[in-house]
Structure 1
Amino acid sequence: MISHTSLPPAPLLHRSIKRILRAESPVSKTIGPPPMPLSLLSLAVAAFGIGTTEFVIMGLLPDVARDLGVSIPDAGLLVSGYALGVVIGAPLLAILTNGLPRKATLTGLMGLFIIGNVLCALAPSYDLLMAARIVTAFCHAAFFGIGSVVAADLVPRQKRAQAIALMFAGLTLANVLGVPAGTALGQWLGWRSTFWAVVGIGFAAFIALLILLPSNIPMKKGRILTEFRVLKDPQVFLAMAISVICSASLFAVFTYISPLLSTVTHMSPHAITGALLLFGVGLTAGNMLGGKLADWRLMPSLIGALVVLIAVLALFVVTSTSMIPALATLLVWGVLAFSIIPPLQLRVVDTAHSAPNLASTLNQGAFNLGNAIGAWVGAVAITHGIAYQHLPLVGVALSCVALALSILSAKMDGPLLATAEERG
């Protein structure tokens, strides 16, 4: 017979029963937050491949031009063609993939990516290479758009921006690792070998998506024409406009960073390569930082990053004349430039909650539209006599516009200091 004294005290027994009913581990609160799901890795691998094929062509322009018998400026249009393909592909793929299961859609888009890069590697002429680049670009906006929503749905609400940032880490790593490695490979074995290598990355991503991505990802179904009405929402429009202008601010300066570092900072080609690598490290760090800050305070983080970005770009006018200060400024600029990407992507998903896949996909087109606009604005500024040293002031002006729109959008929300939980 069990004595009365052998039973645990009533308060302790009561807590134990409650813990069992809630399936709560006694040590669960000491372990910390659960890790990010492994399925996000498959999205990051795919982003790495897409980012590599988008930007690696810049390092291979002389080889492509020489092999296909075109001028370097004509070869440079392969960059513009890709960006145009993203802008066109965003609404087109949003319509074609509407209502399809997310896993099937993402694996199908990666299949299109593989086919496009195979065509790039085999293209016998400039025109066919341009067409292949556009085909490849079609999957870009849809993959990043749908992938952002999927990444956000795979984690708790308070970690959504970090999940998006983890996927976009593949894109930033493409600038740090994929582009330099692809350029070196293309210069060694010919530019076609780089595209074959990207095909291999695409196959790895395809397999990772099949294995790691869950099949039962929830999705909201709706009529595509009805979903397009979400663009009438002023907050959705503002979020995309900010994406365009922020991207334009970056590319108005970054497109011409090599001649700037060469003529103003007097760096050698080898030193410029190292500087771009450092900038890529900044992009990667900023991407992850932006995810954490956006999950904490989305709009204040975006506004704060833009304020500091404006100051850093203005400072670059002064620091660009000396190597060490210029390198330090490049690193900080890279951190700030990509710290605003996860907040902007999550902002679009949040404001377009009735059509997140469509809006997120279109926002990728907005980023690339900003790329093209920024490069054009920078070219116009240089043509009209703006010195390379003062080109960062163009980025300052564009960032000021983005800051004004961000403040307007935040004021339309109500209280500025809303947390992720309070937003949702």
Structure 2
Amino acid sequence: MLLPSIKPQQSSGLAQVPAVLRNRKTQVGLLAAVLIFIGQFAAYTYITPFLNRVSHIDAAVLSALLLGYGIAGFIGNLFGGWAVGRNLRLSVSGTAALISLSAFGLAITGDSALAATIWTLAWGFGFGMLPIAMQTYMFSSAPDQLESVAALFVSTAQLAIGAGALVGGLAVDHFGVASALVIGGVAALLTALLVGASTGKQ
């Protein structure tokens, strides 16, 4: 009731998707989405067993810590909205770098409950920034074809989320729970490098 009305536009259906996929920045954005969401959910899906087994954080404290992760994510979302208006490419690459640093930090120093707490909250802040940063980056790649871009982004992200949980599970089964965090850190780092090295109007 409070938002301004927006005139409906004629749906483009699937006709514009091939053209959108030929857009270099869209290609970078989709690859970045695959990497970051696989990395995020390969690692975060298994953060609870890591914090239990490695950081020795009991259930009561863990619930509070994960609540803190969510609160940090809310703050990160607000900050991300501000940051993308200043420098979009830096916001996306910086968000991915923070998630990478947090995952690696947790994997390396997570046997300390204090370090684990700090890295988990930093991770929450970074992940809170991620949706708005990635979505804005994708929309900026083809501002005249937002429906097609949105459909591609959402579909890609959902597939990557499932794939990430699967990859993380396989890693945990074969190499231990910390390996999921390493995979998350590597994927997020590759995202940061990919977006940071991209060219074109940002």
> Whole-Å Cα distance in 2 between the matches of residues 225 and 263 of structure 1?
47
Describe how 1:285-364 pairs up with structure 2 within 5 A.
285-364=75-154
Cα gap change, 1:233/1:337 in structure 2, threshold over 3 Å: closer, same or farther? Answer: same
Asked whether the 8 Å contact 2:93–2:195 carries over to 1, the reply is yes
Contact 1:240 1:363 in 2 (8 A): yes
CA distance in 1, matches of 2:43, 2:150: 26
Measured in 2, the distance between the counterparts of 1:376 and 1:297 equals 33
Q: For the Cα contact (< 8 Å) 1:307–1:403, is it kept in 2? A: yes
| Maintained 8 Å contact 1:306/1:399 | yes
Amino-acid identity (%): 23
Give the alignment partner of residue 280 of structure 1, picking from 51, 70, 94.
70
The 2-side partners of 1:249 and 1:223 are apart by 32
Deviations 1:75-113 (A, max 9, x none): xxxxxxxxxxxxxxxxxxxxxxxxxxxxxxxxxxxxxxx
Residue 249, structure 1, aligned to residue 39, structure 2:
yes
Residues in 2 aligned to 1:305 and 1:212: alpha-carbon distance in whole angstroms: 32
Aligned match of 2:180: 391
In structure 1, the partner of 2:30 is: 240
Contact 1:227 1:354 in 2 (8 A): no
Distance 2:151 2:3 in 1: 19
Q: Which runs of 5+ in 2 are unaligned?
A: none
Q: Quick one: which amino acid aligns to residue 85 of structure 2?
A: D
User: Cα deviation per residue 1:119-149 (whole Å; 9 max; x = unaligned)?
Assistant: xxxxxxxxxxxxxxxxxxxxxxxxxxxxxxx
Provide the secondary structure at the position in 1 that maps to 2:85. Answer: helix
Are the equivalent residues in 1 in contact too, given 2:50–2:177 (CA < 8 A)?
A: yes
Shift of 1:320: 1.5
Give distance in 1, aligned partners of 2:96 and 2:4. Answer: 36
Letter in 2 for 1:234: R
Alpha carbons of structure 1 residues 219 and 321: separation in structure 2 relative to 1, 3 Å: same
Task: For 1:293 and 1:223, locate their aligned partners in 2 and report how far apart those are by CA, in whole Å.
Answer: 31
AA matched with 1:406: V
- Pairing 1:374–2:172 present: no
Task: Show the counterpart of 2:190.
Answer: 401
CA deviations 1:219-260 (Å, max 9, x no partner) are: 543532432231221211221221222111111111111111
Distance 2:12 2:115 in 1: 53
CA RMSD, 1 decimal: 1.9
User: CA separation in 1, counterparts of 2:132 and 2:138?
Assistant: 10
- Written as runs of structure 1 = structure 2, the 5 A alignment for 1:103-182 is none
State the Cα distance separating 1:394 from its structure 2 match.
Answer: 0.9
Question: Which of residues 9, 15, 23 is equivalent to 1:226?
Answer: 15
Residues 338-378 of structure 1, C-alpha deviation per residue, up to 9 Å, x if partnerless? 21321210111111222102212331222222211110110
Contact 2:42 2:168 (8 Å CA) reproduced = yes
Q: 1: CA distance between counterparts of 2:8 and 2:140?
A: 15
**Alpha-carbon spacing, 1:408–1:220, altered in 2? closer, same or farther (3 Å):** farther
Partner of 1:353, secondary structure, is coil
Specify which of 134, 141, 155 is matched with residue 365 of structure 1. 155
CA distance in 2, matches of 1:225, 1:330: 40
2:61 is the alignment partner of 1:271: yes
Pairs aligned (count): 201
Can you list the C-alpha shifts for 1:144-192, whole angstroms capped at 9, x where unaligned? xxxxxxxxxxxxxxxxxxxxxxxxxxxxxxxxxxxxxxxxxxxxxxxxx
1:262 alignment counterpart? 52
Q: TM-score, normalised by structure 2?
A: 0.90
Measured in 2, the distance between the counterparts of 1:267 and 1:300 equals 34
| SS state at 1:267 partner | coil
Distance (whole Å) between structure 2 residues aligned to residue 277 and residue 329 of structure 1:
14
Task: Call closer, same or farther: CA 1:294–1:219 in 2, change over 3 Å.
Answer: farther
TM-score by length of 1: 0.45
In the alignment, the residues of structure 2 paired with residue 280 and residue 252 of structure 1 have an alpha-carbon distance, to the nearest angstrom, of 18
